[in-house]
Amino acid sequence: MRAAVSFAVLSLIAVGLALSLGHVPFGIDRMEVGRYYLTHGLADTGAANLVTGVVLNYRALDT
């Protein structure tokens, strides 16, 4: 009886994962903010390098 319940629970978890992962749009580029940082980062911040500009100017605004 215990094995049947375990199998049923694991089957429900597997089906739930399969159904939920089926709706994830793999392969679609969703990097709008990152693309903006890469293309406009140095001009917007005037920093010596892009990492410093992003960390000190863009990300500091989030906190």
Q: pLDDT tens across 2-20, in order? A: 999 999 999 999 999 999 8
- Yes or no: say if 42 and 56 are a contact pair by the CB < 8 Å rule: no
Torsion-angle region of 55 (φ positive above 0: left; ψ -120 to 50: alpha; else: beta): alpha
Query: How many beta carbons lie within 10 A of that of residue 54, not counting itself?
Result: 19
Q: What is the pLDDT of residue 21?
A: 86
Q: 57: which residues sit within 8 A by CB, 6+ positions away?
A: 44, 45, 47
Mean pLDDT of the chain: 87
Q: What is the pLDDT of residue 63?
A: 60
Q: Check whether 45 has a pLDDT greater than 80.
A: yes
CA 14 to chain centre: 23
Q: What is the mean pLDDT of residues 21-28?
A: 80
- Enumerate the domain spans of the chain: 2-62
Q: Check whether 38 has a pLDDT greater than 80.
A: yes
